[in-house]
């Protein structure tokens, strides 16, 4: 193990690390905007409506195909429809497309986890469906979405490594380039693993903190564990 | 027209795509089966072993789940030859996927064992069984039932992860699709076929998983709250 070499290449990986973080964070943000709106449409639609069928098949497609295929589709399809994007933005489109599929599920689960009694109580004091949704249901479910969304960010960081196949110069691609020029795979891969690992560990620590300290307004609800969604 | 697909070409390459799907399926099943063996063994040590061993296994799990699968695959690909283990691409892929699958399966085994009500273990100990007997005769049979749907789901995840083996030239579905794209310069036809192939395989497994979940219905619901389930939902994409 060549420690000097590791220290030597570390600065060369900082820029790619920034690309990895940037592509993941932009995708998460766009994905959350789209995911929350589409998730709300899912919840608001009736079971056999057209919107729900469409959203269900979208989610089914995203969860049923590997991300590498989705990246290839974005990479080949976008120029075909006249969008000649930079490879970075192709990556953003692909990751966002992927992430939205998972986030619709997160939003749906969070909204549905709010007890039915909340709807009934709001209705009984004269609120309309829409008022109930925006003032009662959404604020409560937003709190429950935070941990899975932070978790989604670490999934996206891992998924962004696959963007190396379309030559986006992010962490994995940069590591590959160094391996190809120096033939020292163990050092490079170890360093890459440590970088990804610490990034993701930091994020899951943040998730834990958000979950237990910041978004935990009534600890009893969470501590009893099982009563999730039933306490109200 | 974007969607003017060359149906004849699609028929022509279908046998290749099907053969490649079979390779994908074989690799994934092998990886999951080997992963289960490894995952069960390590998962039991994770529950019962000495504290240092538990910590080591937890590190392994965190490492596998915290690092992109692409890096594990690259590492195995480069590292095996330097240990003088010469495998062809297929078996290199199996080894890499096995390690990835095992990392996730240890967690499945652990959470299944820990989801068995505490009283079961205490009751077993109180009638004079030792820890090991309680694990093998009481906890594992009950936990095994609970693991089956999750493991089927895991197989679907591993099938998706196997697409990454295309970067080390394993001739599985993604690689064959890629080769066809660059050979014939048609992408829509090939990508649609490849995506549909994955959708079929993954959907069948997901469907099987939820069928098994109903079939092996739990006597007691899992005690994890949805929140803690979410935050442990580190997926392979």
A219 touches chain B (CB under 8 A): no
Contact yes or no for A99/A35 (Cβ under 8 A): yes
Give a yes or no: residue B1 inside a domain.
no
- Spacing of C-alpha A119 from chain mean position: 29
Q: Nearest by CB to A192, which of B71, B191, B198?
A: B71
Contact yes or no for A13/A188 (Cβ under 8 A): no
Give a yes or no: residue B43 inside a domain.
yes
Q: A97-108: per-residue pLDDT in tens?
A: 999 999 998 888
Give a yes or no: residue B108 inside a domain.
yes
Gap between the Cα atoms of B97 and A50, Å rounded: 39
Residue in B closest to A207 by C-alpha:
B231
The full 3-state SS of B147-216, as one line of letters, equals HHHHHHHHHHHHHHHHHHHHHHCCCCHHHHHHHHHHHHCCCHHHHHHHHHHHHHHHHHHHHHHHHHHHHC
Chain A residue numbers touching B185 (CB-CB < 8 A): none
Q: How many domains does one find in chain B?
A: 1
Give a yes or no: residue B2 inside a domain.
no
Domain A3-223: which CATH number of 2.40.50.140, 2.60.120.380, 3.40.50.10540, 1.10.3720.10: 1.10.3720.10
Contact yes or no for A150/A206 (Cβ under 8 A): yes
Give a yes or no: residue B166 inside a domain.
yes
pLDDT for position B94 = 92
Q: What is the pLDDT along chain A (232 residues), one digit of tens a residue?
A: 778 888 888 888 888 999 998 999 899 999 999 998 999 888 888 888 998 999 999 999 998 899 999 999 999 888 888 888 888 999 999 999 999 999 998 888 888 888 888 889 999 999 988 888 888 888 888 878 877 888 888 889 989 999 998 888 888 888 888 888 888 888 888 899 999 988 888 887 877 787 777 666 655 455 555 444 444 4
Q: How many cross-chain Cβ pairs, A to B, lie less than 8 Å apart?
A: 149
Q: B78-137: per-residue pLDDT in tens?
A: 888 888 888 888 899 999 999 999 998 888 888 888 888 888 888 988 998 888 888 888
Q: B180-192: per-residue pLDDT in tens?
A: 888 888 888 888 8
Domain CATH number, residue B27: 1.10.3720.10
Alpha-carbon torsion (A82, A34, B153, B40), positive or negative:
positive
Gap between the Cα atoms of B108 and B112, Å rounded: 6
SS3 A224: coil
**Domain, as residue range, for B187:** 7-231
Give a yes or no: residue B236 inside a domain.
no
pLDDT for position A98 = 92
Q: A78-122: per-residue pLDDT in tens?
A: 888 888 888 899 999 999 999 999 999 888 888 888 888 888 999
Helices (H), A66-218: 67-80, 87-112, 116-124, 129-131, 138-160, 171-182, 185-209
| Domain ranges for chain A | 3-223
């Amino acid at each position: 193990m060549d420690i000097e070499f590791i220290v030597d290449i570390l600065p060369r990986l900082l820029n790619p690390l920034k690309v990895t973080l940037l592509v993941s964070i932009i995708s998460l943000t766009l994905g959350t905007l789209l995911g929350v709106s589409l998730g709300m449409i899912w919840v608001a639609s009736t079971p056999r409506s057209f919107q729900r069928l469409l959203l269900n098949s979208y989610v089914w497609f995203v969860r049923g195909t590997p991300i590498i295929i989705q990246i290839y589709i974005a990479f080949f399809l976008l120029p075909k429809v006249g969008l000649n994007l930079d490879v970075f933005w192709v990556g953003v489109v692909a990751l966002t497309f992927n992430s939205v599929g998972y986030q619709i599920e997160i939003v749906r689960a969070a909204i549905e986890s709010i007890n039915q009694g909340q709807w009934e109580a709001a209705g009984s004091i004269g609120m309309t469906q829409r008022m109930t949704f925006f003032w009662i249901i959404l604020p409560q479910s937003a709190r429950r979405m935070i941990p899975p969304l932070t978790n989604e960010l670490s999934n996206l960081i891992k998924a962004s490594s696959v963007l190396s196949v379309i030559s986006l110069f992010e962490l994995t691609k940069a590591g590959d380039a160094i391996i190809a020029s120096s033939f020292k795979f163990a050092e490079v891969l170890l360093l890459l693993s440590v970088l990804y690992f610490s990034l993701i560990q930091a994020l899951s620590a943040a998730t834990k903190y958000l979950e237990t300290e910041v978004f935990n307004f009534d600890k009893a609800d969470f501590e009893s564990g099982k009563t999730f969604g039933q306490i109200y | 027209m974007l969607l003017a697909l060359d149906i004849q070409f699609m028929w022509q390459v279908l046998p290749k795509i099907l053969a490649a799907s079979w390779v994908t399926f074989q690799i994934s099943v092998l990886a999951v089966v080997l992963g289960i063996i490894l995952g069960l063994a390590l998962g039991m040590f994770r529950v019962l072993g000495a504290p240092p061993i538990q910590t080591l296994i937890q590190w392994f799990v965190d490492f596998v789940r915290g690092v992109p699968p692409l890096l594990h695959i690259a590492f195995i690909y480069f590292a095996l030859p330097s240990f003088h283990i010469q495998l062809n691409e297929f078996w290199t892929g199996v080894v890499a996927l096995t390690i990835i699958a095992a990392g996730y399966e240890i967690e499945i085994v652990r959470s299944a064992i820990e989801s068995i009500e505490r009283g079961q273990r205490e009751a077993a100990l109180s009638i004079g069984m030792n820890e090991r007997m309680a694990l093998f005769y009481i906890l594992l049979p009950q936990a095994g039932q609970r693991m089956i749907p999750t493991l089927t789901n895991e197989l679907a995840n591993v099938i998706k992860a196997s697409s990454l083996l295309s970067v080390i030239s394993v001739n599985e579905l993604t690689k064959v699709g890629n080769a066809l794209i660059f050979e014939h310069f048609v992408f829509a036809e090939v990508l649609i076929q490849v995506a549909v192939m994955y959708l079929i395989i993954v959907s069948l497994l997901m469907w099987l998983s939820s069928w098994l979940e109903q079939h092996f219905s739990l006597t007691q619901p899992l005690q994890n709250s949805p929140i803690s389930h979410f935050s442990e939902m580190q997926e392979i994409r």
